[in-house]
Structure 1
Amino acid sequence: MSTLQDVALRAGCSVATASRALTRNGCVSDAMIRKVRRAAAELGYRQSPAGGKAGRRVIGVLVPSVTNPVFSSSLSSIENRMLIAGHGVVIAQSHYDPAREADAVTALLTDRPTGLILTLCDPGNTGHLPPDLPPTVLLGNRPAAAFPAAVCVDNVGAGHELTRFLLDLGHRRILFVSGNFTASDRARSRHEGYLQAVTDAGVEPLEAMQIAFVGGYSQLELDTVLSRSSPTAIIASNDLLAFGVIGALRREGLCVPRDVSVAGFDGIEMGQMLDPPLTTIEMPDASMGTTAASLLLDIAGNGAPARHFDFDYQLRRGGTVRAL
């Protein structure tokens, strides 16, 4: 069995430097960290996490909510990939709350994970997170200066394509209903795509309606915004919210899509069980989860450089949208 001394000899450094590189505890250059981790992978060296059960290797995963099928799908893929690699998975939730995000990440670090897979509220604003994180991959977020390794889709492009689809069907009063933009850069990017599309078409954008991501869908009230904006189509920032929009329209005595068209994002299976099926942008959540897990293992185990993978999305036309 390989020892830390073997790793240090292969990497051409001291045992102390090798230890700091593997634990990311102390001052070690990124180049040396990659060199030591590559040597450890080549020798099959495995470190026992301090304060934990010997030989227990885990990664930490942070998602906004495990109740959203989008994240459930990604988590399942991550767990399957990590099972093959001999890692357990520890899961935490931010509940779409930037204030709770730091506590959730801190809780994950208590298990001394090999690395982290994070879906953050805003990867461009991470001053609240603990310093000196282990190897980290963003899932669903665009890469940022602090986190260059990321697996995501072009949400701006997706928002633009869905809005363009509605515009081509004759809709000019299109309302964007979303969870709070401060809680999700994905929703904010989708709205940015909406704004680009309506501006390109010379159409006046309607003011976005923002609600809480957690606990606000089933009791959504649209009477005020409907009377003020009179939309012919509504884009929801995710499919679960689209379900809430459809329910709220029905409570107002309106029919989808006869009176108002509705579309969402994510492509979760429940949307195909609606009558009529939901029009949505389908995201490859399972494939993204597997790729994020593989990328993290490559960075943490082989010293591979951080990389960014951009997945394709697909417009799925359902029956909740009609042409005017």
Structure 2
Amino acid sequence: MGATIRDVAQAAGVSVATVSRLVNGTGRVRDDTARRVQTAIDRLGFRPNAIGRNLSTARTRTLGVVIPSLSNPVFADAVAGINAEAKAQGYTLMFMATDYVRTDEQALVGTLLAYQVDGLILTVADAADSPVLDALDRDDVPYVLIYNQPTARNRPTVTVDNVTAGREVADFFADLGHERLAMVSGTLTASDRARARRDGFVAGAEARGLAAPRVLEVDFVDLDADAAVAPLFADRTGAPTALFCSNDLLAISVIGALGRLGLGVPADVSVIGFDGIAVGAQLHPTLATVAQPSREMGRVATTRLLARLAGETAAPATVLPHTLRPGESAGPAAKPCPADLQVPFHHNGRSPS
């Protein structure tokens, strides 16, 4: 089997898009880069595919989508919005998921570019510090971020104001009389959105004169909610009476874990999630949450990407409105629990069965 375009890109230390531009003559490549690529082509004996060369001179009318997870309905909602707008404009989608593994981002994007997608809509771990975005910027590949936070480099993104949303959650809890707050978050290095929510929540609590909330990080994918939550309630006298979870799926898992600890929601502990997924309104208790317009975010991101493909200059961040949606899982602060009613805590981090 002969060398592939990806083999050439790896040997030359450049992106697949750069090799494609040089081979197909569809864009400018710096002289020193062109020499490295040509040396790799000669050494590997790479022969461009004629069909691929023909496709590269025209649009494939395909958009690549990279999201963190296929299991979280919030991303499914966004993809639905992307797909509806793309389909209306005569485009199809190819999408992949990173499972929150930051080091997989570049490989997945490279795979999509090898299929010659016209542009990308993606969510990365951190838009301010992203090797894959650096490469896309360097190679002038059209893309729009979704959910990621605005950066000093004005990378195009469609998102909500996560910092303000976090502050509003803290205010909501304080207005209900809660004084001991905590947050359960997915891994902060895997999500600039979760960090922004954390920052707003902590700042909001401090602005109301409350102690800084304790922040627990858990694995987004391999979640053990029981083990994560139990230490917070080992000593009920100082335990939080309100928990903010960085997404709705996490909040649902936490509510289940609290029940297994013998704690009622919201009688003993109030819980607020983030995303506004539809299933939250079907639960008992119904889930209080910060709802973000995911489907609309997907639609707007698609229109912005198609505008860039049409030659328009990339616009700065688009921040859409969010809504703090009350639900049965958040209520007035619980009265202090006597010490003799504390939940037993075992060394394995779980309550007795």
- What whole-Å deviation, never above 9, does each CA across 1:79-125 have from its counterpart, x for those lacking one? 11111222111101111111111212112211111111111110111
Aligned: 1:216 with 2:218: no
Give the 3 Å change call, closer, same or farther, for CA 25–205 of structure 1 in structure 2: same
Shift of 1:126: 1.2
Higher mean alpha-carbon deviation, 102-111 vs 299-308, is at 299-308
- What whole-Å deviation, never above 9, does each CA across 1:285-322 have from its counterpart, x for those lacking one? 00010000000000112333323211000011001111
Higher mean alpha-carbon deviation, 205-214 vs 151-160, is at 205-214
Give the 3 Å change call, closer, same or farther, for CA 76–220 of structure 1 in structure 2: farther
| Equivalent in 78, 83, 90 of residue 86 of structure 1 | 90
Query: For the Cα contact (< 8 Å) 2:159–2:318, is it kept in 1?
Result: yes
Aligned: 1:156 with 2:163: yes
Query: For the Cα contact (< 8 Å) 1:24–1:134, is it kept in 2?
Result: no
| Equivalent in 151, 167, 191 of residue 144 of structure 1 | 151
Between the aligned residues of both structures, percent identity stands at 36
- How many equivalent pairs are there? 287
Answer with 1 or 2: which has the greater Rg. Answer: 2
Query: For the Cα contact (< 8 Å) 1:217–1:240, is it kept in 2?
Result: no
Structure 1 segments (4+ residues) deviating >3 Å: 19-25, 48-56, 128-131, 217-221
Give the 3 Å change call, closer, same or farther, for CA 278–220 of structure 1 in structure 2: farther
Higher mean alpha-carbon deviation, 128-137 vs 76-85, is at 128-137
Once residues 245 and 99 of structure 2 are traced to their aligned partners in structure 1, the CA distance between those partners, rounded to angstroms, is 19
Residue 244 (structure 1) aligns with: 253
- Partner amino acid for 2:252? F
Residue 187 (structure 2) aligns with: 180
Aligned: 1:234 with 2:243: yes
Aligned: 1:193 with 2:200: yes
Query: For the Cα contact (< 8 Å) 2:184–2:216, is it kept in 1?
Result: yes
Once residues 162 and 108 of structure 2 are traced to their aligned partners in structure 1, the CA distance between those partners, rounded to angstroms, is 25
Structure 1 spans left out of the alignment, 5+ residues: 1-18, 28-47
Query: For the Cα contact (< 8 Å) 2:233–2:239, is it kept in 1?
Result: yes
Q: Secondary structure at the match of 1:321?
A: coil
Query: For the Cα contact (< 8 Å) 2:205–2:213, is it kept in 1?
Result: no
Residue 280 (structure 1) aligns with: 289
Once residues 317 and 122 of structure 2 are traced to their aligned partners in structure 1, the CA distance between those partners, rounded to angstroms, is 14
Aligned: 1:103 with 2:110: no
Aligned: 1:322 with 2:325: no
| Equivalent in 256, 264, 267 of residue 258 of structure 1 | 267
Once residues 75 and 219 of structure 1 are traced to their aligned partners in structure 2, the CA distance between those partners, rounded to angstroms, is 31
Give the 3 Å change call, closer, same or farther, for CA 87–254 of structure 1 in structure 2: same
Once residues 161 and 216 of structure 2 are traced to their aligned partners in structure 1, the CA distance between those partners, rounded to angstroms, is 22
Shift of 1:145: 4.9
Aligned: 1:26 with 2:29: yes
Residue 116 (structure 2) aligns with: 112
Query: For the Cα contact (< 8 Å) 1:49–1:57, is it kept in 2?
Result: no
Q: TM-score, normalised by structure 2?
A: 0.76
Query: For the Cα contact (< 8 Å) 2:202–2:213, is it kept in 1?
Result: no
Query: For the Cα contact (< 8 Å) 2:226–2:254, is it kept in 1?
Result: no
Shift of 1:218: 5.7
- What whole-Å deviation, never above 9, does each CA across 1:60-93 have from its counterpart, x for those lacking one? 1110002111100010111111112221111011
Give the 3 Å change call, closer, same or farther, for CA 144–209 of structure 1 in structure 2: same
Give the 3 Å change call, closer, same or farther, for CA 23–140 of structure 1 in structure 2: farther
Once residues 317 and 52 of structure 2 are traced to their aligned partners in structure 1, the CA distance between those partners, rounded to angstroms, is 28
Q: Secondary structure at the match of 2:184?
A: strand
Q: Secondary structure at the match of 1:234?
A: strand
- Partner amino acid for 2:114? T
Following superposition of structure 1 onto structure 2, how do residues 4-43 of structure 1 map, counting pairs within 5 Å? 23-26=26-29
- What whole-Å deviation, never above 9, does each CA across 1:154-179 have from its counterpart, x for those lacking one? 00000000111001111011110000
